Amino acid sequence: MNEERVAELVRELLIELGDDPDRDGLRRTPIRVAKAMAFLTQGYRTDPKAIARDAVFESHANNMIIARDIEVYSLCEHHILPFYGRCHIGYIARDKLVGVSKLARIVDCHARRLQIQERLTAQIAQEVMEAVNAAGVGVVMECRHLCMMMRGVEKQNSIMITSSVLGCFHDDAATRGEFLDLIGRPAV
């Protein structure tokens, strides 16, 4: 990403909005916004396959593994406004495990792009499925969308919930039920 070009565009935007980009409070805003956008969209410059590559370990476990309440922050592709919340990931290993921090990094990699929550949920599930050759994967996301809270319908308490279930999480109601029950329990 060309930060200087983005800063120029932000400067032009400030003028179009009716403000003076040379006033004290805005003088450094264009470069600040450019740096923020570079951070918030770093997923475009990150290879999601490389994240787990060095953190996949052989295992004979075939139990359900869950990482829940992973914070997620993304930008809505329709309005470029934030949405944020929690992501819960569960998988059943066949012969491989992935380091737990890599699950959070996979979430961040896909979230740090312009997104819609529905696609983000599916991308995370598919990435985990492929990384460990899982028997099944379940991902549930619960997010608040500022595009719905700050503008449009202005519904402050709305939460969007999406899920993606693959493999045995899709095919077996008991497996899916166990996952949903475990992520719904009170936190420790």
Q: Are residues 62 and 140 in the same domain?
A: yes
Give the mean model confidence (pLDDT) for residues 112-133: 97
Q: What is the CATH number of the domain that holds 116?
A: 3.30.1130.10
Q: Are residue 58 and residue 134 in the same domain, yes or no?
A: yes
- What is the token pair recorded at 91? 């998988």
Do the beta carbons of residue 114 and residue 76 sit within 8 Å? yes
Question: Are residues 142 and 74 part of one domain?
Answer: yes
pLDDT tens per residue across span 25-56: 999 999 999 999 999 999 999 999 999 888 98
Is 97 within 8 Å of 56 (Cβ atoms)? yes
Q: How far apart are CA 99 and CA 127, in angstroms?
A: 14
Total domains in the fold of the chain: 2
Q: E-assigned strands of 40-150?
A: 56-58, 64-76, 82-92, 96-98, 114-115, 136-145
Q: How far is CA 171 from the centre of its chain?
A: 25
C-beta of residue 185 within 8 angstroms of C-beta of residue 179? no
**pTM confidence score:** 0.94
Which structural domain range is residue 32 located in? 3-40
> With bands split at pLDDT 50, 70 and 90, how would you rate the model's confidence at 60?
confident
> Do 56 and 35 lie in a common domain?
no
Same domain, 72 and 120: yes
Establish if 45 belongs to a structural domain. Answer: no
In this predicted model, what pLDDT tens digit does every residue of 66-115 receive, in sequence order? Answer: 999 999 999 999 999 999 999 999 999 998 999 999 999 999 999 999 99
Q: Are residues 68 and 158 in the same domain?
A: yes
Q: Are 69 and 161 in the same domain? A: yes
Q: Is residue 69 part of a domain?
A: yes
CA nearest neighbour of 172 among 142, 141, 136, 139:
136
